[in-house]
């Protein structure tokens, strides 16, 4: 619905008892039947509302202002008009959507609004704006509308502290540096730290983003090469804290220099360090980091953009800070650094809506000529802007032709409009209604673009050639991307609602679960839906060639190990079936390593007492695994991993078992023959037991002793040295205090079984092992596994929380809603609980209570 806004101005309400309330940005809309007052606006004005059965009471601080009563679905505020300053919008017949009115800025018809430029320049202070005006970088502005900025309070409010410092007189005489992070959320490039290099003389700053602190030296080399060439002088001093990435280590013998400190020494650059626990001695760098984070929080506060764009906000913050004055320097950092005044006429509100022009060559005749997007920054190496379009093919793109809607605010805040006015009169019999909070909130969150008459902007007229805002990708090694997208650790921004996957999810193995007697725990839980479940699906898939090679490798292994021989069927024995099971093997990061095809017997058709007798086989517990990992960290032991190829083929069968020939590999001319099994294979009920018996007899002959509590943990001692062996079916973990003892054990295993040496252990049973042997640390993580579980059950875009379970959640055995019950019947609830329990048992005991409730 569209209504005509005839006037805009200020009202002074008399609430009785000598109490008054002044309202700005009041819209005069004659067609409305009721006068509406926003609850959120009252809260922004510092009011406190108390609503009960009798109505509403309005307080400001501890002062009582007035009251109101219920009227149908609204609250009626008891008041009258005390003063009117309502002006007619001259020659304006535009009709604005009621959903758009709340999103229009006061500067819609006035580009001299200080509040607009305050937002365009990343919420810099009023003093810095006045300095820009004094230096004639900005025109004269109207500061009447720049009173309080809620976004600044949210992003910047902190304790103040007086500082004094002596500034350098020459460029590059002193460089301040500091690393900030790690942050809870990584950037779009996977980085979690950022490093700043600030020139003390000009306060001009360069920013790089790092994935690890150890990349600080590489960032400094890039920074040094650029600035020394541009300024034609050398860096004299680098000041930092005593972080290990800068300082190295401190021992009783003094400083043990790290790579960064050694590089400074080799290049003749003097290093200055803060004393322990005195970060204020590196105040320039520390304050610079705080400034950036404050600006990013304020810019993102009402943008509604996704978190992975925080880095773009940081780039923009650095871009603005280099062009905005500060108390430390008389001129702007850009002017001191580059020798000329910066231009700010091309600046726009970060995150504002925009219409970017699509190139004519890419536009069809009947298609729109623009793309709806959001402004997210300035191009560093070209004259243009950067935009984000969530539904565009290229979500982040650059262009110089765009229409900016700076005045359209993404939240529900009211702001002034400035224009030419003629005074009119308004009826003083005033009734004001406050819609119920939920209705007002919905309306406040719904905004549309207004009909703003702005021309497409020209290219940016001034971009310094020697400014580094973005990551110098071309100069960096492939394993290190220095981006300016810091992921801030304060989760204060409202994310868009996560998009739930609509893809139909089916059990991974389906019918396989009936006859796959043993698979590794992680195999069934992590299996991807796109892995084929039948021979026909594998042959028709786009990866058919890989699956064919995998099946041929499995058959070659069967032949080499003489697993069976082809014989004619015995009428007195039943021939069991078999099936191919396909699995995409991945590393600890989820990347595809290889395609695995395994021939599995249909063990569910075996008959007890005829085809098998006992099936029990011990399996190492996760408690044993964690205990040995603790010993490895404590004694700084060698930790290696080996894998037994076609593990069950090593077990000898005690019974006579016949099996049908595998699909796709039936011997020509012997189609009526069956396989008489000589060794056990996957799927047989006794396969796991036969393998364990074989391995136990072999490893015991080499001097290993079985643990009395965990039968799959073995220990061997030689003098003062010892080695642990953990067996988990086909995975073997070796932890030794001496490297020779480890190598001897590996050689013995390789001589007795077909082994694959995986070197130092890094990924076992879906658990990632991270070690820092210098500091004696060892960590266990299931990040990749948990991400796969979330993805499988449609939760990959869910919002994060500080605890696994929200307070006050209530669960029942049966849903009261019949529709929900039917929906839950199609969901693999038991499989989900099993997936969570595996993470709980291995590395996430904090999930125990939540999993228990579920």
CB-based contact 113:106 (threshold 8 Å): yes
- The tokens of 63 are what? 């002062």
Q: Which of 523, 417, 434 is nearest to 58 (CA)?
A: 434
Token couple for 763: 């990924």
Residues 615 and 689: beta-carbon distance below 8 Å: yes
Q: What pLDDT shows up at residue 437?
A: 40
Any idea how long the chain is? 854
Please measure the distance between the N-terminal and C-terminal CA atoms of the chain and give it in whole angstroms.
Answer: 46
- pLDDT at position 468 is 40
Write out residues in the chain with pLDDT < 70, as ranges.
Answer: 1-2, 6, 72, 83-111, 147-148, 158-165, 360-366, 408-529, 588-590, 806-827
- Residue partners of 67: CB distance under 8 A and separation at least 6: 55, 56, 57, 58, 77, 78
Instruction: List all residues 6 or more positions away from 526 whose beta carbon is below 8 Å from its beta carbon.
Output: 586, 766, 785, 788, 789, 792
Dist CA 224 CA 216 (whole Å): 12
The set of residues, in sequence order, having a beta carbon less than 8 Å from that of 769 and lying 6+ positions away, is: 629, 639, 761, 762, 763, 778, 779, 780
pLDDT at position 278: 80
Instruction: State residue 455's pLDDT score.
Output: 35
Cα atoms found within 13 Å of the Cα of residue 643, Cβ hemisphere only: 11
Helix (H) or strand (E) holding 200: none
Please report the DSSP string for 514-532 in residue order: GT-----HHHHHH--TTS-
**Distance in angstroms (rounded) separating the CA atoms of residues 207 and 293:** 13
Strand order through the sheet with 174-180: 205-210, 193-199, 174-180, 237-240, 270-273
Kind of pairing between the strands at 705-706 and 713-718? antiparallel
Rounded CA gap, 87 and 28, in Å?
A: 9
| pLDDT score for 221 | 94
The CA distance from 768 to 588, in Å, is 6
Backbone angles phi, psi at 481, to 5 degrees: -115, 120
Integer Cα distance of 261 and 255 in angstroms = 10
Q: Look at residue 691 in the predicted model and tell me its pLDDT.
A: 84
Alpha-carbon distances of 526 from 293, 363, 507, 580, 792, rounded to whole Å: 38, 43, 11, 18, 8
As beta bridge partners, residue 769 has 780
Q: Which residues contact 441 (CB under 8 A, 6 or more apart)?
A: 40, 412
d(CA 120, CA 319): 12
Residue 485 CA to residue 467 CA, distance in Å, equals 17
Q: 650: how many CB neighbours lie within 10 A of its CB? A: 20
- Whole-Å CA distances, 22 to 45, 80, 737: 9, 12, 78
pLDDT tens per residue, range 411-468: 433 333 233 323 344 444 455 555 544 333 333 333 333 333 333 333 333 444 444 4
Residue found under tokens 């093919």: 393
CB 601 within 8 A of CB 649: no
Cis peptide before 182 (omega within 30 of 0): yes
Burial (Cβ within 10 Å: 0-12, 13-18, ≥19) of residue 396:
middle
- The closest of 716, 697, 698 to 707, measured between CA atoms, is 716
pLDDT, tens digit, for every residue of 628-663?
999 999 889 999 999 888 777 777 787 888 889 998
Beta pairing class for 2-4 and 95-97: antiparallel
pLDDT at 589: 66
| Alpha carbon 216 to chain centroid, angstroms | 22
Q: Would you say 649 and 563 are in contact if contact means Cβ atoms under 8 Å apart? A: yes
- Cβ contact 297:154 at 8 Å: yes
CA 774/CA 777 separation, integer angstroms: 8
Give the up-direction half-sphere exposure of residue 639: CA atoms within 13 A in the CB hemisphere.
21
């Amino acid at each position: 619905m569209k209504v005509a806004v005839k006037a805009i101005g200020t009202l002074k309400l008399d609430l009785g008892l000598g109490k008054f309330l002044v309202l700005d940005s009041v819209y005069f809309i004659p067609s409305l039947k009721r006068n509406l007052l926003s609850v959120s606006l009252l809260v922004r004005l510092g009011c406190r509302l108390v609503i009960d059965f009798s109505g509403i009471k309005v307080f400001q601080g501890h002062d009582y202002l007035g009251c109101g009563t219920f009227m149908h679905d609204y609250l009626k505020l008891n008041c009258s008009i005390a003063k009117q300053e309502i002006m007619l919008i001259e020659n304006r017949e535009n009709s604005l959507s009621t959903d758009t009115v709340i999103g229009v800025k006061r500067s819609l018809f006035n580009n001299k609004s200080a509040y607009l430029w305050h937002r365009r320049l990343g919420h810099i202070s009023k003093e810095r704006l006045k300095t820009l005006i004094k230096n004639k970088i900005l025109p004269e502005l109207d500061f009447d509308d720049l009173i309080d900025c809620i976004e600044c309070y949210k992003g910047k409010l902190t304790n103040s502290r007086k500082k004094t410092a002596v500034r350098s007189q020459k460029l590059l005489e002193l460089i301040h540096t500091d690393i900030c992070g790690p942050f809870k959320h990584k950037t779009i490039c996977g980085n979690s730290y950022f490093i700043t290099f600030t020139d003390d003389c000009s306060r001009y700053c360069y920013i790089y983003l790092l994935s690890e602190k150890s990349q600080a030296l590489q960032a400094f080399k890039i920074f040094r090469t650029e600035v020394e060439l541009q300024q034609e002088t050398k860096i004299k001093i680098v000041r930092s804290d005593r972080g290990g990435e800068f300082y190295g280590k401190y021992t009783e013998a003094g400083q043990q220099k790290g790579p960064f400190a050694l590089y400074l020494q080799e290049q003749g650059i003097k290093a200055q360090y803060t004393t322990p626990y005195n970060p204020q001695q590196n105040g320039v760098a520390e304050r610079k980091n705080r400034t950036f984070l404050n600006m990013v929080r304020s810019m993102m506060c009402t943008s509604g953009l996704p978190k992975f764009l925080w880095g773009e906000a940081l780039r923009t913050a650095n871009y603005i800070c280099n062009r905005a004055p500060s108390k430390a320097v008389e001129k702007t950092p850009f002017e001191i650094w580059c020798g000329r005044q910066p231009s700010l006429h091309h600046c726009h509100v970060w995150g504002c809506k925009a219409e970017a022009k699509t190139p004519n060559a890419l536009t069809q005749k009947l298609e729109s000529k623009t793309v709806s997007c959001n402004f997210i920054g300035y191009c560093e190496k070209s004259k243009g802007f950067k935009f984000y379009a969530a539904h565009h093919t290229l979500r982040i793109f650059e262009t110089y032709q765009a229409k900016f809607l700076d005045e359209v605010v993404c939240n529900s805040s009211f702001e002034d409009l400035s224009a030419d006015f003629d005074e009119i009169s308004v009826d003083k019999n005033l009734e004001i209604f406050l819609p119920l909070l939920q209705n007002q909130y919905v309306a406040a969150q719904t905004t549309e673009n207004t009909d703003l008459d702005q021309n497409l902007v020209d290219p940016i007229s001034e971009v310094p050639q020697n400014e580094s805002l973005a990551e110098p990708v071309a100069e960096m090694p492939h394993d290190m991307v220095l981006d300016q997208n810091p992921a801030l650790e304060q989760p204060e921004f409202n994310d868009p609602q996560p998009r739930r996957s609509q893809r139909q999810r089916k059990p991974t193995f389906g019918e396989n679960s009936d006859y796959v007697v043993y698979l590794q725990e992680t195999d069934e839980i992590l299996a991807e839906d796109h892995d084929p479940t039948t021979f026909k699906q594998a042959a028709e898939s786009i990866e058919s060639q890989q699956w064919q090679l995998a099946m041929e490798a499995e058959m070659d292994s069967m032949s080499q190990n003489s697993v069976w021989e082809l014989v004619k069927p015995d009428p007195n024995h039943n021939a069991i079936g078999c099936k191919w099971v396909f699995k995409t093997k991945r590393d600890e990061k989820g990347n595809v390593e290889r395609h695995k095809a395994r021939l599995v017997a249909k063990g569910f058709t075996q008959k007890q007492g005829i085809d098998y007798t006992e099936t029990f086989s011990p399996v190492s517990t996760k408690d044993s695994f964690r205990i040995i990992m603790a010993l490895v960290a404590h004694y700084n032991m060698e930790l290696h991993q080996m894998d037994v190829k076609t593990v069950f083929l090593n077990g000898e069968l005690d019974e006579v078992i016949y099996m049908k020939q595998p699909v796709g590999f039936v011997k020509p001319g012997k189609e009526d023959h069956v396989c008489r099994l000589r060794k056990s294979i996957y799927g047989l009920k006794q396969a796991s037991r036969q393998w364990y018996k074989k391995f136990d007899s072999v490893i015991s002959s080499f001097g290993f002793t079985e643990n009395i509590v965990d039968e799959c943990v073995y220990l061997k001692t030689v003098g003062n040295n010892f080695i642990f062996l953990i067996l988990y079916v086909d995975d073997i973990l070796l932890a030794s205090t001496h490297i020779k003892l480890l190598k001897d054990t590996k050689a013995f295993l390789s001589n007795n079984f077909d082994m694959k040496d995986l070197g130092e252990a890094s990924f076992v049973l879906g658990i990632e092992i991270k070690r820092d042997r210098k500091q004696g640390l060892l960590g266990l993580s299931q990040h990749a596994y948990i991400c796969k579980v979330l993805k499988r059950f449609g939760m990959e875009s869910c919002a994060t929380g500080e605890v696994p379970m929200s307070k006050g959640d209530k669960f029942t055995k049966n849903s009261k809603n019949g529709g929900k019950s039917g929906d839950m019947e199609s969901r693999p609830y038991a499989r989900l609980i099993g997936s969570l329990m595996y993470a709980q048992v291995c590395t996430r005991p904090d999930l125990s209570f939540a999993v228990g409730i579920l």
